[in-house]
Amino acid sequence: MRRYVALVGTAVLVAVSVGPSHAAAGDMALLPDLRQAPVGCAGGHTVSPSRCVDWDVCLVADPSAPSGPCVTGVPAGAVRLRFTSAVENIGDGPLLVYGTRSDTGQPRMTSRQAFQSAVDGSIPASYEQAQHALPAAMYYEHAQAHQHWHMLDFEHFQLRTPSGTTVVTDRKNGFCLGDRYRTVGRLPNRPADDGSPAAELAKVLWANRCGHHAPEALSTVQGISVGYGDDYVYAVDFQWLDITAVPSGTYDVVNVVNGDRSLVEKSYANNASSIAISVRWPGGAHNPPAQITEPPQVRLLRSCPGQERCAGRILY
């Protein structure tokens, strides 16, 4: 379950002082650094990634349903490899994105990234004061499990062969970003409860529901504070890759955040993580049967945090 605290009303702009309007991603800004957490690990995990168990294989009767229920003993319409994903900010400043639209007739909001000032710690308080235009739009997700504003193309999942060929892509459309858990380890710029702009922003992001039940909203905010992460558990809608037609073999499950690098970061070197898995259909079959009543055996071979390739690194 996602952890939320209700916000009063629909306005979620941050009431903090504003730095120089011309400040950009450079010496004047404290930049975020997005780290893709290990695939299948719960947010803020403390065990070895090879021991993370937040993933499963789910047979579903209705392939059009975005989430379970998982079924057994009956013909399946689809087979899904489900897994938890988590993105953490270990940079110097918050990831902060504002969205806006001029009227409710526009189905999407445009978005801008805002940067904390390295000079006085101030943080832009609105879309108009944010410094960096983004190609990603925000849209209202009406599905029962969401009913809030999502930012498109923040994170993507893929199933790839060891050579890097993409076999399956995700159907995940967008994300509602906020401070959902505290990261492990000490980070000097993690906000303290001291009334600073970063601390006040962190209070908003911890409670952030991205305009929940507010399809009429004209503005919204999303982001992750330094030292916090945003996770989606494997039972949530579209937290899966469809492996119904995937032959037996070895594959990489790859999570990539900010793949187009449109969000400005301190480093892009840690934006992907992967696991190598073995897929084996019952009876040693190479291809899935015409009627699937048993799931394939999926075994974790190796976890490769911070790496986009994993299966090709296994030594047999």
> Running DSSP on this structure, what letter comes out for residue 211?
S
What pLDDT, on the 0 to 100 scale, is given for residue 77?
A: 96
159 assigned to some structural domain: no
Cis peptide before 69 (omega within 30 of 0): yes
Q: Which residues of the chain carry a pLDDT beneath 70? A: 1-27, 313-316
- Give the DSSP letter string of 120-161: T-----STTT--EEEEEEEEEE-STTT-EEEEETSEEEEEE-
pTM assigned to the model: 0.89
Q: Are 121 and 28 in contact (CB under 8 A)?
A: no
For the chain, the domain total comes to 1
What pLDDT, on the 0 to 100 scale, is given for residue 172?
A: 85
- Token pair 């101030």 in the structure block, residue: 122
What's phi and psi for 38, nearest 5 deg?
Answer: -55, 140
301 assigned to some structural domain: no
280 assigned to some structural domain: no
Nearest Cα neighbor of 212 from 284, 140, 156 is 140
- Give the DSSP letter string of 233-271: -TTSTT-EEE-TTPPSEEEEEEEEESTT--S--S--TTS
103 assigned to some structural domain: yes
What pLDDT, on the 0 to 100 scale, is given for residue 303?
A: 96
What pLDDT, on the 0 to 100 scale, is given for residue 73?
A: 86
314 assigned to some structural domain: no
Give the residue numbers spanning the domain of 214: 29-153+169-243
304 assigned to some structural domain: no
249 assigned to some structural domain: no
What pLDDT, on the 0 to 100 scale, is given for residue 9?
A: 33
What are the distances in angstroms from CA 253 to CA 181, 224, 229, 298?
Answer: 24, 24, 20, 12
21 assigned to some structural domain: no
